Amino acid sequence: MSLLMNNRYGISLFLFFCLMSLPFAEVSQAQGPSAGLSPEKINSKVSSRVKSNEEGPEKSGKSQAFEFTVIAHRGASGYLPEHTLEAATLAFALNADFIEQDVVITKDDIPIVLHDIHLETVTNVESVFPERAREDDRFYARDFTLAELRRLNVHEREDKSQNRVFPSRFSATTSRFSIATLYEHFDLISELNRQLGKNIGVYPEVKSPAFHLAEGVDASRIVIDALQAFNFDGAQDNSYLQCFDFSEVKRIRSELGYKGKVVMLIGENDWKESSTDYTWIRSAEGMAEVAKYANGIGPWVPQLFNQNDAKSKKIEAANWVTHAHSNNLTIHPYTYRQDALPPGITGPHLLDALRNIVKVDGIFTDHVPPVLSWREQRRSNVDGAQ
């Protein structure tokens, strides 16, 4: 059975849902360049929330025997345009354990939440700034100030031919979504945690750190500054910092002295995410080296299974996974998509295989509700057996 997943490639209803789910939340969003406030300026605003966030939510009384972390991949990206504040708000309302933020840096050195260093796949940059592409015909976020990026409209992800990657997702044509800063995302999540007595975590990724360093900006340092400003940077804090570049993971830990939890993302070499040799990373030597610097790994789901499964009709964990377990690395694979499941397998079947056969600790997902529903059902089964 093949487990390959395609990972590459009315606002009114939303507001009604959020009002029903969060009746007492009043979310304020910073506007304009002031959203790039320095850590010093924002620390005073955040400090009053820290005690509330550290106390966390009250115990639910449900069984803790079945643990499985649910990470909202780019926010609630299965329902609203990815990485927008609206998608983050919905992910919070859906009660994900963590909300992910991919981070790139603007021309004026402000961290924004955007999956790629390029803009054209999720915005209308081609029509707003038609002359601003580089020689490769790509539009780079690094070439625009935050004020310029505020003029763009964020839409559902498109491929190179401007076809929607996920045709069944959010299709309203008059809605307006904007690029937001990392500080705005952290501010939103922290404030909702404070008001609702929750402790939903953040899961930022430093995107293309080598590209940013070549552009003269230290993306990792900027992301760490933001984590520190919101008290998300401690070893016990509810956050993870992730990256596809192993050299940068080592630098984050050794040179930048980051104390929080770090995750080494694992791709395929032909994706050219970085100069990292991901085949070596999955070896016994590679996993042992990763464990010196990282708390966990984030592999692509197909990498976790024996690729001969289709012939044997038996689902087995890939051999390399034992190296991750032997080094006590947390495993948070990507990405569960309800609208892009492998042929011939149901969502619960896939999640069961990940949890029971591969023994992963959680999942990145575009669709939080079905994963939470599966988790609650499995917890109920555990409770019933006790």
- Is 115 tagged catalytic? yes
- Is 73 tagged catalytic? yes
Residue with tokens 């079945």: 66
**DSSP secondary structure letters along 244-257:** S-HHHHHHHHHTS-
Catalytic residue among 83, 115, 212, 367: 115
* Amino acid at the residue 112: I
User: CB–CB of 178/154 below 8 Å?
Assistant: yes
CA distance 110 to 183: 9
* 44-204-160-210 Cα dihedral, nearest 10 degrees: 100
Cβ of 127: how many Cβ atoms within 10 Å? Answer: 9
Catalytic residue among 73, 83, 118, 323: 73
Query: 345: which strand partners?
Result: none
**DSSP secondary structure letters along 324-375:** HHHTT-EE--B-B-TTSPPTT--HHHHHHIIIIII--SEEEES-HHHHHHHH
Which residues are within 8 A (CB) of 245 and not within 5 positions of it... i.e. 6 or more apart?
206, 208, 209, 210, 273, 274, 275, 276
List the catalytic residues. 73, 115
